[in-house]
Amino acid sequence: MGLFAVLREPDNPFSIVHCHLNLWVLGGLFGHRRFFFDVGLRIRADKGHTVQRFEVALPFEPLDEFFRDLYEEMQQQKNLYLIFGKKVVGQHQPGTGYTIDYDGTPVRVFSFKEPQEPVPPASRQHDVTLRKLELAQPIAVNSEGYVRFRFEATRMGRAWSWKRFLLAKNGAIVDFRVADVREVMGLAGADALLDSVIEIQRLFMFVIAPASLVPIANSPSLHYMRMLEGPDWESYLGRASYFLRRSQKMVIYEWRRESVTPLEPFRGFLSLARPHGYQGIGNHVVTALVTTATIAILLGIWDMTRVAAAIASVWRWLVGLALAVGLLKGVSYVSFVKGVLRVLRGAFLKTENSIMRRLKR
């Protein structure tokens, strides 16, 4: 299933005062969906140690080449208003760097160290990905720092799973866990991982999804729902939200929770569905095929012999397709072919990113 958690290094404890999580479900080319996962952490070095390195557990497999430090975005006043939903003061202070004040106490914003390798190290077990992060400068003892960063993904595992019927996506289920022990029991070193989980004193969890999906169930109760402010977020996202329908409406769902620990984890569940009467393109295709076949039979265009021959022909075609798919699936595990597919996917995603960035205002 997977979970999100912030993990400390051995013998280097610290506190997480605030944790802001944003799961974005964005449109792309040809109906493709891209997921952004933003993490904002207010870290307090109150355990007698400086804080420069930590690890995060993710409930999905990120696209490592699209990791982004949002330090620059945090320096735009407009983005601060959008992120925190109120007037936020951002200032460059001599000797202390760039600070923001969103709750009455100024806090310094830290950036991440430039990776020595093209991709920072990550490890994955089952549905949990562990990602190591290092700040450009340490957070001093008895002080606080705020960091914000983004992972991108094409699939979110159980954190976002589509409800499907044949070719159609009829809805989605969000099952997001924070510090949930149930999600690590099958992992190697589960006890050590749980011992390193940092308590989140206050959690803010947001899901930003298309308005074409309406909520039918949620647990626990949502703090609120509202419409997204549309193109205003494009400077923060660095791209347009949609390829063709830039005015596409989106809805924000928010949970809030005090004190999230392995003993008291957060489990957010949200079920979304297409509204009654709405049919996606996949539904229309299936309906058209079934209707055409039914009318043809009723009008006597096909006699039973021709129907049987057609069914046999379709069956042979399906068997052939299944064999071809199986063969390709087997070949795809060859390292060379996997490498080619990875390059092609990366090229498509970079092209999509470039187009969506050009579309933003």
Question: What SS3 state is found at 344?
Answer: helix
CA Rg value for the chain: 24
- As given in the structure block, the two tokens for residue 298 are 């009723």
- As given in the structure block, the two tokens for residue 194 are 């749980």
* Assigned domain for 293 exists: no
Q: Return the residue matching tokens 């969000």.
A: 174
Q: Considering the chain, what percentage of its residues have pLDDT values greater than 70?
A: 71
* Assigned domain for 85 exists: yes
* Assigned domain for 133 exists: yes
Q: What is the DSSP letter of 360?
A: -
Are 125 and 50 part of one and the same domain? yes
Cα–Cα–Cα angle for 320, 324, 329, nearest 5°? 150
> Number of structural domains, the chain?
2
Q: Return the residue matching tokens 């490890």.
A: 123
Are 236 and 327 part of one and the same domain? no
Determine the average pLDDT of the residues in 326-355. Answer: 62
Mean of all residue pLDDT scores within the chain: 81
- Binning pLDDT at 50, 70 and 90, where does residue 65 land? confident
**Which one has a higher pLDDT value, 63 or 111?**
111
- Indicate the pairing of strand 250-260 with strand 224-227: antiparallel
- As given in the structure block, the two tokens for residue 178 are 């924070």
* Assigned domain for 291 exists: no
- Binning pLDDT at 50, 70 and 90, where does residue 23 land? very high
Determine the average pLDDT of the residues in 164-172. Answer: 79
Euclidean distance between CA atoms 197 and 247, whole angstroms: 40
- Which H or E run contains 270? strand 266-273
Are 32 and 124 part of one and the same domain? yes
Are 107 and 253 part of one and the same domain? yes
**Which one has a higher pLDDT value, 216 or 118?**
216
- Binning pLDDT at 50, 70 and 90, where does residue 354 land? low
Determine the average pLDDT of the residues in 142-165. Answer: 89
Contacts of residue 289, defined as CB under 8 A and 6 or more positions apart, other chains included, come to: none
**Which one has a higher pLDDT value, 155 or 122?**
155
244-273 burial string, b = 16+ CB within 10 Å, else e? Answer: eeeebebbbbbbebeebbbeebbbbebbbb
- Indicate the pairing of strand 89-93 with strand 97-101: antiparallel
CATH number of the domain within which 45 lies: 2.60.40.1730
Q: What is the pLDDT of residues 189-215, one digit of tens each?
A: 677 777 889 999 999 999 999 988 999
Would you say 90 and 108 are in contact if contact means Cβ atoms under 8 Å apart? no
Are 171 and 266 part of one and the same domain? yes
* Assigned domain for 287 exists: no
> Is the pLDDT at 19 greater than 60, yes or no?
yes
* Assigned domain for 116 exists: yes
DSSP bridge pairs for 7: 55, 197
* Assigned domain for 193 exists: yes
The model's pTM is: 0.77
Residue 331's domain comprises 302-359
> Is the pLDDT at 327 greater than 60, yes or no?
yes
> Is the pLDDT at 140 greater than 50, yes or no?
yes
Question: What is the rounded (10 degree) CA torsion for 101, 103, 107, 113?
Answer: -90
> Is the pLDDT at 341 greater than 70, yes or no?
no
* Assigned domain for 296 exists: no
Are 25 and 127 part of one and the same domain? yes
Longest dimension (CA), the chain: 87
**Which one has a higher pLDDT value, 262 or 286?**
262
Euclidean distance between CA atoms 30 and 34, whole angstroms: 12
Are 261 and 335 part of one and the same domain? no
- Binning pLDDT at 50, 70 and 90, where does residue 84 land? very high
Are 196 and 137 part of one and the same domain? yes
Are 79 and 202 part of one and the same domain? yes
Would you say 172 and 161 are in contact if contact means Cβ atoms under 8 Å apart? yes
Q: What is the DSSP string of 197-260?
A: BPPEEEEEEEEEEETTSEEEEEES--SEEEE--GGGGHHHHTS-S-SS-TT--EEEEEEEEEEE
- Binning pLDDT at 50, 70 and 90, where does residue 102 land? very high
**Which one has a higher pLDDT value, 295 or 161?**
161
**Which has the minimum average pLDDT: 13-22, 90-99, 309-318, 338-347?**
338-347
Domain end point (choices 225, 258, 273)? 273
- Binning pLDDT at 50, 70 and 90, where does residue 117 land? very low
Determine the average pLDDT of the residues in 156-173. Answer: 84
**Which one has a higher pLDDT value, 64 or 286?**
64
Determine the average pLDDT of the residues in 247-259. Answer: 89
298-332 burial string, b = 16+ CB within 10 Å, else e? Answer: eeeeeeeeeeeeeeeeeeeeeeeeeeeeeeeeeee
Q: Within 13 Å, how many C-alpha atoms sit on residue 233's CB side?
A: 24
pLDDT of residue 71: 95
